[in-house]
Amino acid sequence: MFTGNALVYAYMAGVSGLMNGWLAVVTRGRRQALFTAAFFSSAVALLLSGSRAPIAFFVVTAAAVGLFWLFASARQSWWRAAFVAYVFLFALTCAYELFSDTIAYSAIAARFSTLLDTILEPGIAGGDPAFVERIEMYKAGLLAFWDHPILAYGRQNVMSVASQQLANEQPFPYTHLHNAYITEAVSSGVLGLLAFIAVLWTPLIAAQNTSAQWRGMAILLVGYTAVYNMTNIGFYHDIKVFYYCAFVVLLNSIPKTRPADVISPVAGTDYATFLTRQALATGASENGKPIAIRRSLI
């Protein structure tokens, strides 16, 4: 049983679930059932964590993957797209029937209702004290950052300088501002915020020229982490940092394929050019003459 930080548990379950969901979409054969089961297992684990924001972000990101699957199926055949849409709606219906009476669902629904009310009519978010408190932290953090955007204040002073922006200077009972980007901006200024975003972007760079499976997982990792950081702390948990860095190392260990080496209409590769390049690389010959010379005349 997990006994550590519930937010870290929720993050790990969310990322793992999204990756397995993506692999279930793009994989065929026996492994598709395995990835599908892993997706639902991760979803249940995430729900048990009780963390509202990670659950909401997981639902939104999973819905985006489902829509991508739907459009991809529609390009192949209309009946397959209709089947995918039916499965998608059926899964949503089952999820609602199973979890609509749970505490987590009620909390998420209340938070989204408050968020919508705040957007439509600012200033009426009094029904959710936690939401109001976070809005105050965001405002205080932005005001502190605006005063010293270059040198900032240092990580240990984030909460104290943010509290000083309030009229009563009442200190916040937290160690961060519940938004990684604002926390980094107040802590390290513009340069620190840019460095944080660069680290966040690293998996996408490492996934270039890899297969669609790896690129999709990198996009989901970065996307989910980016929205997760909007209401939580960034790279300050050891397990989260290790997971992120390990995936980057794994992406860098995968052999990269240059588009010019792929024979496909999409890559626009000429077959004769490909054979010439391969012959030069391997030193192959035919009837005593290098294949590269013969093929170059095709």
Tallying the residues shown for the chain, one arrives at 298
Angle of CA points 177, 182, 186, to nearest 5°: 90
**Cα–chain center distance at 249:** 17
154-173 residue pLDDT tens: 888 888 888 888 767 678 88
- Residue type for 200, please? L
Q: At what angle do helices 129-147 and 103-120 cross, to 10 degrees?
A: 50
Q: Which two tokens stand for residue 87?
A: 């499965």
Which is higher by pLDDT, 269 or 119?
Answer: 119
pLDDT-derived band of residue 96, with 50, 70 and 90 as boundaries? low
117-151 residue pLDDT tens: 665 565 554 556 777 788 888 888 999 999 888 88
Mean pLDDT computed over every residue of the chain:
75
210-242 residue pLDDT tens: 888 888 899 889 988 998 888 888 787 777 888
Residue 186: the pLDDT is: 92
pLDDT score of 179 more than 50: yes
pTM for this entry: 0.71
Of the candidate ranges 112-126, 132-146, 196-210, 261-275, the one whose mean pLDDT is the lowest: 261-275
> Residue 48 in contact with residue 9, Cβ under 8 Å?
no
Distances (CA, A) of 289 to 96, 158, 274: 69, 72, 18
- CB neighbours of 11 closer than 8 A, spacing ≥ 6? 54, 225, 228, 232, 240
Name the nearest CA neighbour of 27 among 214, 246, 266, 219: 214
Backbone angles phi, psi at 182, to 5 degrees: -70, -40
Give the whole-angstrom CA distance, residue 177 versus residue 25. Answer: 36
Give the whole-angstrom CA distance, residue 152 versus residue 109. Answer: 37
Residue appearing with tokens 């936690």: 130
pLDDT-derived band of residue 108, with 50, 70 and 90 as boundaries? low
Give the whole-angstrom CA distance, residue 96 versus residue 105. Answer: 9
Rg over CA atoms, the chain:
25
pLDDT score of 287 more than 60: no
Give the whole-angstrom CA distance, residue 280 versus residue 264. Answer: 20
pLDDT score of 284 more than 70: no
Handedness of CA 102, 22, 20, 8 (dihedral sign): negative
